[in-house]
């Protein structure tokens, strides 16, 4: 199946594995919340039990250094992509309100990103992630 949109999650390459997984999960929920049209239908098993909907298209996970994250962030802004962000200070908080408070203190044009998700037209996302490597 071809999609008109693309979803990319980018994580800082030097994070601990648990941090990469945590950041990826949070960013995926951010895109799901911001783009309900990206959600698929509920899953139903053979016994008729219903399970939660998942994003209806593949998510590609990339890794990069701080400079690559910042470049993708700026490209996402410029191309008006749907964005979800995770900054280093969020690792020291314990809840959503505190996350928003620490994010508000970040430099608007250069936050201390450890993760970013972007979704939008395929060509625009491709330009935002140009040169990044798939997470391996």
- Which tens digit of pLDDT belongs to each residue from 99-114? 999 999 999 999 999 9
For residue 97, is pLDDT > 90?
Answer: yes
| Residue written as token pair 């030097």 | 14
Question: Each residue of 55-88: pLDDT tens digit?
Answer: 999 999 999 999 999 999 999 999 999 999 999 9
Domain ranges for the chain, please list them.
5-134
Give the strand order in the sheet containing 82-87.
Answer: 82-87, 113-121, 5-12, 60-64, 133-134
User: What is residue 7's predicted lDDT score, i.e. its pLDDT?
Assistant: 97
**Dist. CA 93–CA 39, nearest whole Å:** 28
**Dist. CA 2–CA 103, nearest whole Å:** 35
Q: Tally the C-alpha atoms within 13 A of residue 68's C-alpha that lie toward its C-beta.
A: 19
Write out the CATH class of domain 5-134: alpha beta
Beta strands in the chain (DSSP E): 5-12, 43-44, 50-51, 60-64, 82-87, 113-121, 133-134
pTM: 0.93
Q: Which of 77, 61, 72, 78 is nearest to 27 (CA)?
A: 61
């Amino acid at each position: 199946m071809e999609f008109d949109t693309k979803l990319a999650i980018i994580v800082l390459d030097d994070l601990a594995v648990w941090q990469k997984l945590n950041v990826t999960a949070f960013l995926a929920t951010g895109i799901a919340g911001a783009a309900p049209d990206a959600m698929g239908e509920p899953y139903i098993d053979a016994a008729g039990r219903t399970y939660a909907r998942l994003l209806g298209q593949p998510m590609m996970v990339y890794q990069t250094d701080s400079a690559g994250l910042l470049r993708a962030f700026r490209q996402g802004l410029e191309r008006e992509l749907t964005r979800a962000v995770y900054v280093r200070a969020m690792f020291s908080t314990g809840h959503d309100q505190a996350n928003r408070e620490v994010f508000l203190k970040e430099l608007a044009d250069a936050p201390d990103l450890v993760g970013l998700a972007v979704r939008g037209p395929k060509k625009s996302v491709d330009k935002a992630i140009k040169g990044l490597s798939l997470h391996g």
